[in-house]
Structure 1
Amino acid sequence: MKAIVYTSHTGHTQRYAQLLAERTGVPAYSMKEAREKLRPKDEIFYMGWLMAGTVKGVQAAMDRYTIRGAAIVGVSPQGNGDLWTEARINGGYSDSGGRLFYLQGGYAPEKLGFFYRMMMKPMASSVIRQVEGKGDAATAQEREMAEVFRNGGDFVRREALDEIVQWFREGDHTGEVKAVPRVEF
């Protein structure tokens, strides 16, 4: 693997990329830095943040590099939707053989620009209303998500990268992420 390439908006994905670089010895570059440091079709591990079901920057990374694996960073404790069902059925791999991982990053509304804040506001309100409507029947995880949407939260943890570090050390990464990972809500 030539590099870890990431796209980050509020810093959670960047922190994961830097931690992964420390643990693997593979350099981490933002997409902008990567354009200066890497050649087209170099093999990379991509890390991107999840917004409205789309992994930010992954299409540009696929157009330029060979993505052997990807980590998608989101707010919820676990990935969901068709992509994650597919990855679980395939033992954590995409249909084209690229390894897929999910990391819980966080939510920092104060770091979001106006556009993203406005996009997140109805979703956050909906989650909070649903959890409040359940009262005592709400699970601990649901209550935690409501709290995150009220006040923000940071879940970046070094140990969350253990499975990815192990995958890096296994070597011989021949699969490729070829389709845009999308999470359906």
Structure 2
Amino acid sequence: MKAQAIVYTSNTGFTKEYARILAEKTTLPLYNLESALKSLPYGSEVIYLGWLRASFVNGYVKAAKKFRINAVCGVCMGECGSQLDSVRKNNKIPDGIKVFTLQGGFDMKKLRGMNKFMMKIMVKHLTKDIMAKETRTEEDEKLLLMMSKGASFVSEKNLEPVIEFAKNS
């Protein structure tokens, strides 16, 4: 069945930006999760976007209890298409639901509370690991940029497979 809406949960704005672009390109209505839970009827077909933390899609479980999810998009610091198996497994996403991962961005200044505390520790360790490598990949360089200065890799190009899925499902 074709999705009736796009529903998202965003922490620092990168997932929200992807959701906005997807809604614009598909002409589907856009809801943050809290609004969707109040506005959309039980069983509505949706595409769900949420930010990743340790391969868990924030808000997915809550959304899956009320909606029929056609696709899940996890927005992360890593490359598009990374972590697909772990995202599916950790979130117990059924095989019939399409899973995408999208590279978003990182901005320490936008984090709060426990998320900020945890990310400070992760950034310290990850930076140390990357700097210790003899040769760094393009992915390593992107991560260093995000962690040191903050950066966004949100783009319509990254969303093309999701847009195609939404239009053809």
TM-score normalised to the size of structure 2?
Answer: 0.89
Distance 1:140 1:32 in 2: 37
Q: Are the aligned partners of 2:10 and 2:51 in contact in 1 as well (CA < 8 Å)?
A: yes
Paired position in structure 2 for 1:64: 66
CA separation of 1:85/1:4 partners in 2, compared to 1, >3 Å: closer, same or farther? closer
Establish whether residue 32 from structure 1 lines up as the match of residue 30 from structure 2.
no
Paired position in structure 1 for 2:120: 121
Distance 1:49 1:115 in 2: 15
Distance 1:67 1:85 in 2: 13
Distance 1:48 1:28 in 2: 13
What is the root-mean-square deviation of aligned Cα atoms in Å?
A: 1.7
- Is the partner of 2:7 in helix, strand or coil? strand
Gaps of 5+ in 2: none
Distance 2:144 2:22 in 1: 29
- Is the partner of 1:134 in helix, strand or coil? coil
- Is the partner of 1:103 in helix, strand or coil? strand
Gaps of 5+ in 1: 87-93, 172-185
| CA drift at 1:168 | 1.3
Paired position in structure 2 for 1:21: 23
Distance 1:61 1:55 in 2: 11
- Is the partner of 1:146 in helix, strand or coil? helix
Distance 2:88 2:10 in 1: 25
| CA drift at 1:132 | 1.2
Which of 3, 6, 15 is the equivalent residue of 2:5? Answer: 3
| CA drift at 1:112 | 0.5
Q: Which moves more between the two structures, 14-23 or 75-84?
A: 75-84
Paired position in structure 2 for 1:160: 158
| CA drift at 1:84 | 6.1
TM-score normalised to the size of structure 1?
Answer: 0.82
Paired position in structure 2 for 1:131: 130
How many residue pairs are counted as aligned between the two chains?
163
Q: Structure 2: which amino acid aligns with 1:145? A: L
